[in-house]
Chain A
Amino acid sequence: MATIEVLGTGCAKCKRLLANAEQAVKELNVAMDVVKVDELDQIVERGVMLTPALSINGEVVSEGRVLDVKEIKRMLSE
């Protein structure tokens, strides 16, 4: 099953991105896990310098921005 990860150490922006990702998955009605990654070493290992970051199937697609639901849906359908 495909996975979406929200990478961030837990600030307000990370929570908003997580909520938007969950909403996007719900609206698309696809079977995807939305996971929060808040361990610093894991974030660094992915090469992420700006949080919150979004990763789809292990590939970081956005850094340092709170994507809105529409943007996430577009990225998911690509």
Chain B
Amino acid sequence: MQDYLQLFADYVTYTLLGIGQGTPLGSTVDFFIYDTIKVTLMLAVIVFFVGVVRTFITPRRVRKWVSGRPEGVGNVLAALLGIPTPFCTCSAVPLFIGFVESGVPLGITFSFLVASPLINEIAAAMLIGMFGWQIAAIYIVSGLVIAILAGVIIGRLHLEDQVEEFVWSCHMPERSEQAMTWRDRINFAAGESKSITRKVLPYILAGIAIGAVIHGYAPADFLLNIAGNDNPLAVPIAVLIGIPLHSNAAGMIPIIEVLTSKGMAMGTALAFMMAVIGLSLPEMVILRKVIKVRLLLIFAGILFVSFTLTGYLFNAILG
């Protein structure tokens, strides 16, 4: 498969476009065509399969599956189910109310709230395409561990008094969901694959193009001194900068590619990415409607510490 792709990229670059083989421009264009097609195909395929899975997993079912589970099992399940279940920031409040009012413990609710934005198939597909499956696996596993631990800690702290009173008296009626046939599921997944790939494609193109140019022309040690492995403060500073910022995985990964190619250590870059997509100022402002400031700060604090530790850990392993 990859060989055919390489042959195709070579053919377009050297035969159709007539760029000289072995020239810097030639290898840049060749790399650009090869990488773009590879990442796009991977994204389309992975989003399709996760789309099929998604038709089986709705937040409403998740809350049913995790309620009544003990600590630990419930947190693991909530974090895992958070992966294929995305929600937009403005859904955080109804989602939170729906979980808590149906009796899902606070800690398990937070495991879901952390995992859902942090880990998803778009991040996975783009990380595999641009950095290889090892980095993608590292990202997913550490994201899961963070979501599980953050939930267990919040659960242990017994912060139920930090939830706004009105949440406890909310009643969200059970809604029946339409039955789906396999045909519906495939159609849904195909639609998701098409629309998400189309939406993410400009980011991929920009990221790979910038990456391709930088590989060739910019000095690779630009960030080495301030954000390389030798500066211990780089990780917490990157996380601190990343937490209020908000972007999705698609927008973040090309930036990560640029930062790492300019000398930022991989662990620092992953920690920065987690901080940007895992938590944001708008999300905190919205969550403030349902939880009090103290819980909000504890939540942000736990994530700050875990992202920072993850950054150090991977700088140590990968460095």
Q: How far is the CA of A49 from the CA of B159 in the complex (A)?
A: 23
Q: How far is the CA of A41 from the CA of B94 in the complex (A)?
A: 9
Number of interface residues of B (CB under 8 A): 21
- A40 contact from B60, B89, B94, Cβ within 8 A: B94
Interface bits B44-65 vs A (CB < 8 Å: 1, else 0): 0000000000000011100100
Are the CB atoms of B90 and A48 closer together than 8 Å?
A: no
- A30 interface residue, CB < 8 Å from B? no
Are the CB atoms of A50 and B97 closer together than 8 Å?
A: no
- A14 interface residue, CB < 8 Å from B? yes
Are the CB atoms of A50 and B170 closer together than 8 Å?
A: no
- Most A-side CB within 10 Å, residue of B58, B60, B88, B170: B88
- B88 contact from A11, A41, A44, Cβ within 8 A: A11
Are the CB atoms of A49 and B94 closer together than 8 Å?
A: yes
Q: How far is the CA of A51 from the CA of B59 in the complex (A)?
A: 12
Interface residues of B in 80-116 (CB under 8 A from A): 87-91, 93-95, 97-98
- Which B residues touch A58, using CB under 8 A? none
Interface residues of B in 153-190 (CB under 8 A from A): 170-175
Shortest CB-to-CB span from A2 to chain B, Å, is 19
Are the CB atoms of B175 and A47 closer together than 8 Å?
A: yes
Are the CB atoms of B97 and A44 closer together than 8 Å?
A: yes
In this complex, the interface size class of chain A, counting residues with CB under 8 Å from chain B, is: 20 to 34
Given contacts A40-B289, A48-B175, A49-B95, list 15 more A-B pairs with CB under 8 A: A9-B90, A11-B90, A14-B90, A41-B170, A44-B172, A47-B174, A48-B94, A49-B60, A49-B98, A50-B58, A50-B59, A50-B87, A50-B95, A51-B94, A64-B59
Q: Which 9 A-B pairs have the closest CB atoms?
A: A11-B90, A47-B175, A49-B98, A47-B173, A49-B59, A50-B91, A51-B91, A9-B90, A44-B172
> Can you offer 21 A-B residue contacts whose CB atoms are under 8 A?
A9-B90, A9-B93, A10-B90, A11-B88, A11-B90, A13-B88, A14-B90, A40-B93, A40-B289, A41-B170, A44-B172, A45-B172, A45-B173, A46-B173, A49-B59, A49-B95, A49-B98, A49-B172, A50-B94, A51-B90, A64-B91
